[in-house]
């Protein structure tokens, strides 16, 4: 009975904890910047297999699997920065994608996946 109680307690703690998912760190040139009709922006680096939704210029962006969020003004700044990088051919040295849709590798994204960008530099 004690063991069952301990298992039940452990299970309850796991179920009440926030769901944390993965992080993948990518680098490369911006190949695509896209806008999708649900007010979301997408990005694809040359190291990625498909574009990924990364923010919305209208609402606070949140994805399952991370507590990080991106506000509308930050979204616009990210888009402008990525557009500048694309236009100049700059290489993004580091970009952290977080969330439940994040694959183990940059070239493992599924179609129509979402992520939060926690950090980037170029």
Could you report the per-residue pLDDT of 63-100, keeping only the tens digit for each? 999 999 999 999 999 999 999 999 999 999 999 999 99
Q: Which residues, 6 or more positions from 98, have their beta carbon under 8 angstroms from its beta carbon? A: 21, 22, 23, 63, 65, 66, 68, 115, 116, 117, 118
pLDDT at 10 over 50: no
8 A C-beta contact, residue 43 and residue 113: no
| Nearest Cα to Cα of residue 60 among 50, 74, 47 | 74
Whole-Å CA distances, 45 to 7, 27, 52, 67, 90: 44, 7, 10, 24, 11
What is the share, in percent, of the chain residues with pLDDT greater than 90? 81
Q: The pTM is what?
A: 0.82
pLDDT averaged over every residue in the chain:
88
């Amino acid at each position: 009975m004690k063991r069952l109680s301990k298992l039940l307690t452990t299970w309850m703690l796991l179920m009440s904890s926030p769901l944390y998912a993965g992080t993948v760190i990518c680098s490369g040139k911006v190949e695509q910047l896209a806008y999708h009709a649900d007010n979301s922006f997408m990005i694809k680096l040359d190291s990625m297999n498909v574009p990924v939704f990364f923010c919305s210029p209208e609402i606070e962006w949140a994805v399952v699997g991370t507590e990080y969020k991106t506000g509308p003004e930050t979204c616009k700044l990210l888009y402008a920065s990525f557009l500048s990088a694309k236009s100049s051919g700059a290489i993004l040295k580091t970009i952290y994608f977080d969330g439940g849709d994040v694959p183990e590798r940059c070239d493992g994204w599924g179609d129509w996946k979402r992520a939060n960008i926690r950090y980037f530099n170029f």
